[in-house]
């Protein structure tokens, strides 16, 4: 049985950062990921990473912008920790080799981003996530003591009789062998659940595995209804056009040629926060001022051509390859699209969940620093700061305890359920059919605008799909890269995620951040300035509440 002090599930930015921090704190570390680490979805983060590192800027300003952006649902203690730690984190990354953009003096340079009162976004062209991910992977290659399990699929979290985490069960995707891993701590760092929506900016691997695994193990999920729609995604395939484009000065127009953000956010215009811009676009589209394909236009031609090629190079390629548009010459049609889940596994500021030894960090987790709406370029920061904190805390904790007992029964149970899926008669619907119905349901009823009637319909459909998933048919009977099987397992994870999103959205009877209820259009601090927690039960998620931590910023009206 492979055994480590700390086992990290997921190898994107949060996972790699956690693994490196745990190793530096003296723990033996395993990092397990269903894709090769550099294939992680952190790659897709284009725009940059926020830090108040400039001499004019302060961490308090960064923190206040984040609190306001969150629509006061973010926990202010966690936000303070993140914003205070941000400048040193940027410097540490720079020292490791990240090729951050430099200004003419050769020092780190910044760009502007939405919802921020200063230009505090540090970046590498528009491949910031990729650049940081690859530099962290360079460090993983350097650290012999971090054992990498690349292309292993996690099927269950294992606890001992006392409820302490004792390891995981995972399947080697290359040969189909299943293994019980022993660990004193398990850090979930396996990203978000965008694939429950269609379309989404998220990669096919973002199926909410970690959120579902923690939920099934009994850890509460928090604020799952808070699903971010990104204002600029391509119609049809949901591909992302970085917020960096608006940061560099691009404008939004409706089909009548009006720069409509003047109506919705007269001060910040296109650089209002994402929920505000997404609602503005969707309102224009719903009220008939969009283009016939259900989009509005993003005009990047106002940005100097040299600057586009230097700072938005990837977007030039995306426009050319995926929309057939030369963005240096003509506007590109965009619409709001599913992008990020602010909610996730409820953790404290050290990444601990309510299950002893189980940690979560990054998009899978809800600390919560993003509350009702995440500011652009705060997600990379979240992954690194709380990935690092989880890794360090888990390593320190591991020093104080003996290895818990991971029973082989868990392995046998998982092997049996996999055998059941693979050996099943081909009677049910196909994985892809159920997934497609789930995606369009969520996009229809649990998107930018929501109401009770739609959410009830969504819940009914999701619960029917959960039943249908129990007999889902798969064609592949083999053990080598049985991606059909993984698709079936991911479908189960996705349905748990979707059910929690819908239940949370139904429960929150107000409009705050990404949750806009047309039947409750106002924010209601008296009743709903609180987190919604969901805990697994046979009959569906059980609802409870917890307080929002407020330190120095009292809720006030949110205008941009």
Under DSSP, the state recorded for 41 is G
For position 325 contacting another protein by CB under 8 A, the verdict is no
Distance between alpha carbon 370 and the CA centroid of its chain, in Å?
Answer: 11
* Span of 70-78, 129-137, 358-366, 536-544 interacting with another protein by CB under 8 A: 129-137
Interacting stretch for another protein, rule CB under 8 A, among 70-78, 213-221, 301-309, 437-445?
Answer: 301-309
One DSSP character per residue, 309-371 reads HHHSHHHHHHIIIII---TTTS-EEEEEEEEEES-EEE--TTSB-SSTTEEE-GGGEE-SSST
Rg (CA), the chain: 22
Mask 225-264, x = binds another protein (CB under 8 A)?
------------x-xx------------------------
| Of 208 and 513, CB closest to another protein | 208
In the complex with another protein, the residue whose CB is nearer, 270 or 314, is 314
| Candidate residues 58, 99, 301, 407; the one interacting with another protein per rule CB under 8 A | 99
Q: Let me know the angle formed at the C-alpha of 324 by 318 and 325, rounded to the nearest 5 degrees.
A: 80
Q: Count residues binding another protein (CB under 8 A).
A: 70
Query: What are the phi and psi torsion angles at 147 (to 5°)?
Result: -85, 130
The span of 69-77, 217-225, 261-269, 307-315 binding another protein (CB under 8 A) equals 307-315
Query: Hey, which bits of 128-194 come out as E strands?
Result: 146-150, 152-159, 165-172, 178-188
Nearer to another protein, 5 or 57 (CB): 57
Q: Which is nearer to another protein, 81 or 125 (CB)?
A: 125
Name the segment binding another protein (CB under 8 A); options: 31-39, 287-295, 448-456, 505-513: 31-39
Cα–Cα distance between 155 and 168 in angstroms, integer? 8
Name which of residues 163 to 192 contact another protein (CB under 8 A): 174
Q: Distance (Å, rounded) from C-alpha 380 to C-alpha 359?
A: 18
Closest contact distance (angstroms) between CB of 206 and another protein is 9
Nearest distance, CB of residue 394 and another protein, angstroms: 24
Using CB under 8 A, pick the residue from 144, 288, 306, 557 that binds another protein: 306
Judged by CB under 8 A, the residue of 4, 17, 41, 346 near another protein is 41
DSSP 37: G
Closest listed residue to residue 29, CA positions, set 139, 146, 136: 146
Answer yes or no: are the C-beta atoms of 205 and 41 closer than 8 Å: yes
Residues of span 200-219 touching another protein by CB under 8 A: 203-205
Nearer to another protein, 180 or 418 (CB): 418
* Cβ–Cβ < 8 Å for 473, 424: yes
Residue 110 touching another protein (CB under 8 A): no
Q: Work out whether 105 is an interface residue with another protein (CB under 8 A).
A: yes
Helix axes 431-445, 483-507, angle to 10 degrees: 20
We find the least distance from the C-beta atom of residue 88 to another protein, in angstroms, to be 10
Helices 483-507, 452-469: axis angle to 10 degrees equals 150
Nearest to 328 by CA among 347, 313, 339, 343: 313
Q: Name the DSSP letter for residue 414.
A: H
Contacts of 526 (CB under 8 A, 6+ apart): none
Q: Order of strands, edge to edge, in the sheet holding 121-122?
A: 49-50, 121-122, 110-111
* Residues in Cβ contact with 136 at an 8 Å cutoff, skipping those fewer than 6 apart: 13, 16, 17, 20, 96
For tokens 């949901």, name the residue.
238
Residues 366-425 that bind another protein (CB under 8 A): none
Would you state the structure tokens that stand for residue 240, as one six-digit string?
Answer: 């992302």
Token digits for 410?
């868990």
Answer for which of 101, 413, 424, 530 binds another protein (CB under 8 A) is 101
Kindly tell me which of 204 and 543 has the beta carbon lying closer to another protein.
Answer: 204
- Nearest residue (CB) to another protein, 237 versus 542: 237
Q: Is 439 in the site for another protein (CB under 8 A)?
A: no
- The piece of 95-103, 217-225, 346-354, 410-418 that touches another protein (CB under 8 A) is 95-103
- Contact segment (CB under 8 A) with another protein among 72-80, 100-108, 217-225, 295-303 equals 100-108
Applying CB under 8 A, does 489 fall inside the site for another protein? no
Which one of 259, 263, 305, 419 is in contact with another protein (CB under 8 A)? 305
Among candidates 531, 537, 158, which has minimal Cα distance to 367? 531
The residues annotated with a catalytic role in the active site are 274
The one among 27, 29, 78, 124 contacting another protein by CB under 8 A: 124
CA distance 394 to 350: 9
Q: Which residues bind another protein (CB under 8 A)?
A: 35-36, 38-41, 43-44, 91, 94-97, 99-109, 124-125, 127, 130-131, 134-135, 138-139, 141-142, 150, 174, 203-205, 237, 239-240, 304-306, 309-310, 313-314, 317-318, 321-322, 324, 430-432, 474-484, 487
């Amino acid at each position: 049985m492979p055994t480590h002090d700390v086992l990290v599930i997921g190898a994107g930015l949060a996972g790699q950062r956690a693994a490196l921090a745990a190793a530096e704190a003296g723990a033996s570390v395993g990092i397990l990921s269903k894709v090769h680490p550099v294939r992680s979805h952190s790659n897709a983060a284009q725009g940059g990473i926020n830090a108040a590192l400039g001499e004019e800027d302060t961490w308090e300003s960064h923190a206040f912008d984040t609190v306001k952006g969150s629509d006061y649902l973010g926990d202010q203690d966690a936000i303070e920790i993140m914003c205070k730690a941000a400048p040193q984190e940027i410097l540490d990354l720079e020292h490791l080799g990240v090729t951050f953009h430099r200004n003419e003096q050769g020092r780190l340079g910044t760009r502007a981003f939405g919802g921020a009162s200063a230009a505090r976004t540090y970046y590498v062209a528009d491949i910031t996530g990729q650049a940081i991910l690859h530099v962290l992977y360079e460090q993983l290659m350097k650290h012999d003591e971090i054992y990498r399990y690349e292309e292993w699929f996690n099927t269950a979290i294992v606890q001992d009789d006392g409820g302490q985490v004792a390891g995981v069960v995972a399947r080697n995707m290359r040969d189909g062998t299943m293994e019980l891993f022993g660990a004193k701590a398990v850090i979930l760092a396996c990203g978000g659940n965008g694939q429950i929506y269609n379309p989404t900016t998220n990669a096919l691997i973002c199926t909410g595995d970690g959120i579902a695994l923690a939920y099934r193990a009994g850890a509460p999920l928090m604020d799952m209804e808070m699903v971010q729609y990104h204002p600029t995604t391509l119609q049809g395939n949901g591909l992302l056009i970085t917020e960096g484009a608006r940061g560099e000065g691009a404008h939004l127009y409706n089909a009548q040629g009006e720069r409509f953000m003047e109506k919705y956010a007269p001060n910040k215009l296109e650089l209002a926060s994402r929920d505000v811009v997404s609602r503005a676009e969707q309102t224009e589209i719903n009220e008939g001022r969009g283009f016939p394909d259900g989009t509005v236009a993003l005009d990047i031609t106002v940005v100097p051509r040299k600057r586009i090629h230097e700072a938005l190079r990837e977007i030039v390629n995306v426009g050319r390859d995926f929309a057939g548009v030369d963005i240096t010459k003509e506007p590109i049609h965009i619409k709001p699209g599913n992008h990020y889940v602010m909610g996730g596994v409820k953790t404290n500021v050290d990444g601990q969940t309510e299950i002893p030894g189980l940690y979560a960090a990054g998009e899978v987790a809800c600390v919560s620093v993003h509350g009702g709406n995440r500011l652009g370029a705060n997600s990379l920061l979240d992954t690194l700061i709380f990935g690092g904190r989880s890794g360090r805390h888990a390593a320190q904790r591991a020093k104080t305890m003996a290895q818990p007992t991971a029973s082989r029964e868990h392995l046998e149970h998982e092997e049996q359920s996999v055998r059941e899926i693979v050996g099943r008669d081909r009677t049910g619907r196909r994985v892809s059919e159920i997934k497609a119905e789930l995606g369009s349901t969520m996009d229809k009823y649990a998107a930018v605008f929501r109401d009770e009637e739609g959410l009830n319909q969504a819940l009914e459909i999701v619960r029917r799909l959960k039943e249908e998933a129990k007999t889902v048919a798969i064609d592949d009977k083999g053990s080598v890269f049985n991606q059909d099987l993984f698709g079936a397992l991911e479908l189960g994870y996705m349905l748990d995620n979707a059910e929690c999103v819908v239940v949370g959205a139904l429960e929150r009877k107000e409009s705050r951040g990404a949750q806009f209820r047309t039947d409750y259009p106002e924010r209601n601090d008296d009743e709903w300035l609180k987190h919604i927690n969901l805990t697994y039960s046979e009959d569906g998620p059980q609802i409870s509440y917890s307080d929002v931590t407020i330190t120095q910023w009292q809720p006030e009206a949110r205008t941009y």
